[in-house]
Amino acid sequence: MRIGDIDVLPLSDGTFVARPEYFTTRVPETPGHPFDADGVAWLPIGCFLIRTGDRVILVDAGLGPVRQTLPHDMELVGGQLPVALRTSGVSAADITDVICTHLHADHVGWLFDRDGNATFPTANIWFGAGDGHHFVDGPGEMFDHIRQGFRNGSVALRALDHDHVVTAGVEIVRTPGHTPGHCAVIISSGLDRAMLVGDAITCPVQLTEPTWRSMGDVDPPLADRTREELWRELEDEHTIGTGAHFPELQFGRVLTGQGRTWST
Ligand SMILES: [Zn+2]
């Protein structure tokens, strides 16, 4: 995927085996829902590699080499990100920046190993300050070795309480609600623009099913407002977007007319 002069490569760390209960719903009649005949959606655990100038930027760090079970027979299985990076010719030492859209387990899993040592030793780790307060210092759930990694000071942590341009064409913007410090990444070059929305939108079907909330939303009403703002931005004809769990990590945008539809 090229956004103007910037190279954006979707990678998956594994699979999120989701069921309708994740959206607190049943399988709907709506066309375009992601569930198969058994009511299961096989969603990716998405990460993105952005290469521009001398920067090699990883957006989200997957679940890591673990499984995570969720209620209602759902689970996440990680482990593929290192292979995906190697296949792309990128080593851990090449990564200059990791942007975590938020600090849920399936977005920080490869930041630190079992002993809390940094996987990307020379990278800046960018994340929303609100998520640092909630997950690292507060009540949010986090694996112990990841919390230890955040606390032991061996890596350059960059907590943001404002929007921030990481390098020309790559901006981190606040999109709170799913988590307190949730961020999206806007990639822009020339007229072209792409948004990586993290889990602010879990699945494009939420466009036509606006009452479907993510089970993980920390502040559901705020998450609803943020989702609606993102849909509106994705109505722009030069803007495309995708999320960390969009089926096949496909980019798309919102078409308006008789109702709104998602087009890939
Ligand atoms: Zn996620």
How many beta carbons lie within 10 A of that of residue 22, not counting itself? 23
Could you tell me the distance, in angstroms and rounded to a whole number, from the CA of residue 107 to the centre of ligand 1? 6
pLDDT tens for the chain, residues 1 to 264: 999 999 999 999 999 999 999 997 776 667 778 999 888 999 999 999 999 999 999 999 999 999 999 999 999 999 999 999 999 999 999 999 999 999 999 999 999 999 999 999 999 999 999 999 999 999 999 999 999 999 998 899 999 999 999 999 999 999 999 999 999 999 999 999 999 999 999 999 999 888 889 999 999 999 999 999 999 999 999 999 999 999 999 999 999 988 899 999
Question: What's the predicted TM-score (pTM) here?
Answer: 0.96
Tokens 């921030």 map to which residue? Answer: 164
Residue 75 Cα, ligand 1 centroid: separation in angstroms? 12
Give how many domains the chain has, as a whole number.
1
Nearest 10 degrees: CA dihedral of 67, 92, 203, 176?
A: 100
The three-state secondary structure class of 238 is coil
Q: Residue 36 sits in which domain range?
A: 2-263
Question: How many angstroms is it from 60 CA to the middle of ligand 1?
Answer: 9
**Ligand 1 centroid – CA 258 distance (Å):** 31
Q: How far is the CA of 55 from the centre of ligand 1 (A)?
A: 24
CATH number at residue 109: 3.60.15.10
Q: How far is the CA of 229 from the centre of ligand 1 (A)?
A: 19
